[in-house]
Amino acid sequence: MCACGSPARPPLAATTRTPQEQPPAPPLEILPGTPDPKLPTEVTSADGKQVTITDASRILPLTGAISEVVFTLGLGNRVVGRDIAATFPEAAHLPLVTRAHDVSVEGVLSLRPTVILADEETGPPEAMEQLRGSGIPVVIVKPAWSLPEVAPRIKAIAQALGVAEAGERLAGRTEAQVKAARAKAPAGAAKPRVAFLYLRGTAGVYLIGGKGSGADSMIEAAGGVDAGTAMGLTKAFTPITSEALIAARPDVILVMSKGLQSVGGIDGLVRIQGIAQTPAGQRRRVVDVEDGSLLNFGPRTARVLETLVERMHQA
């Protein structure tokens, strides 16, 4: 089966808890104390522009991953809107104004933010130009698609919001938690081959992750082998074919929970051509993780990693 759809990096999306075996999304572990932003700050945005922030009373993060950092820093009471991928309960009451790759300029401006946080993949470009032209400070941070990028992104967001000290504490705590999670992977055990599949059955999108998907970093940290990378896939995402699945020979299939739901759960997944011919399909070895946390690479990443270690290495 050859998937339709673009092999470009797909946007993260919200999820619902459908498979009974799906673990709950890890909770936010908000830093103790309420940081008081020290402003103004002047930072170099990831797009090379110098940005001065004088007011952090109304913060608008345009991605779920950035929202996670802002809330965990203790600044959630200043956030005025959310992206669809901000799936944690603390953000549920906020108005939805963007879907990462589909920013609503009118919706953003209606919230009167005093600072906007986005990443290099937030768009479309015309919308971002309109927001910059509005006079509201727009800070672009680099997206994180591997574990080493987590701490620098936390620090960059905290620096922009005038809470650099809290950012240092959160980055340090997160790094320690990731190290502890990695240590739980069985030492000396055979490493399972894990294929990350991005599925949107209702849209006909079936992709397999390779080098740079983000999942490759998580799989390797959890003591596995990323099957897509091992078979030589150099793009982050490639349309699935039955031949590629069989060649990948995954022992475990990793999916986002909403993607699994979109193909009819595990029963529907194994009916996709090629899945049933893999060791993972034959044994129904499927690990699903909540969409809003799997590839966020933020303060909850260590908890996701713990889940992967536990479930990837099950007999």
Token representation of residue 258:
């909403």
CB 56 within 8 A of CB 161: yes
Above 60 in pLDDT, residue 58? yes
The per-residue pLDDT of the chain, averaged, comes to: 91
- Of 11-20, 21-30, 204-213, 302-311, the range with the lowest mean pLDDT is 11-20
Q: Please tell me which residue, 98 or 298, carries the higher pLDDT value.
A: 298
Q: How confident is the model at residue 49 (pLDDT cuts 50, 70, 90)?
A: very high
The DSSP secondary structure of 273-292, one letter per residue, reads TTGGGSHHHHHT-EEEE-HH
Strands 41-44, 50-53: parallel, antiparallel or unpaired by DSSP? antiparallel
Above 70 in pLDDT, residue 277? yes
Q: What is the pLDDT of residue 178?
A: 97
Q: What is the pLDDT of residue 23?
A: 56
Q: Please tell me which residue, 181 or 11, carries the higher pLDDT value.
A: 181
CB 151 within 8 A of CB 178: no
Lateral strand order in the sheet of 59-61 = 59-61, 115-119, 138-141
Q: What is the pLDDT of residue 263?
A: 95
- Of 4-13, 148-157, 208-217, 256-265, the range with the lowest mean pLDDT is 4-13
Q: What is the pLDDT of residue 34?
A: 87
- Of 16-25, 249-258, 262-271, 272-281, the range with the lowest mean pLDDT is 16-25
Q: How confident is the model at residue 17 (pLDDT cuts 50, 70, 90)?
A: very low
- Of 6-20, 83-97, 160-174, 262-276, the range with the lowest mean pLDDT is 6-20
List pLDDT tens digits, range 239-249: 999 998 999 99
Above 60 in pLDDT, residue 21? no
Above 90 in pLDDT, residue 219? yes
Above 70 in pLDDT, residue 191? yes
The CA distance from 304 to 183, in Å, is 14
The CA distance from 256 to 244, in Å, is 20
Q: What is the pLDDT of residue 25?
A: 80
List pLDDT tens digits, range 132-145: 999 999 999 998 99
Q: What is the pLDDT of residue 101?
A: 74
Percent of the chain with pLDDT over 90: 82
Q: What is the pLDDT of residue 4?
A: 38
Q: What is the pLDDT of residue 9?
A: 53
The DSSP secondary structure of 78-132, one letter per residue, reads GB--EETT--SGGGTTSPEEE-SSSB-HHHHHHT--SEEEEETT-S-HHHHHHHH
C-alpha R_g of the chain? 20
Q: What is the pLDDT of residue 315?
A: 59
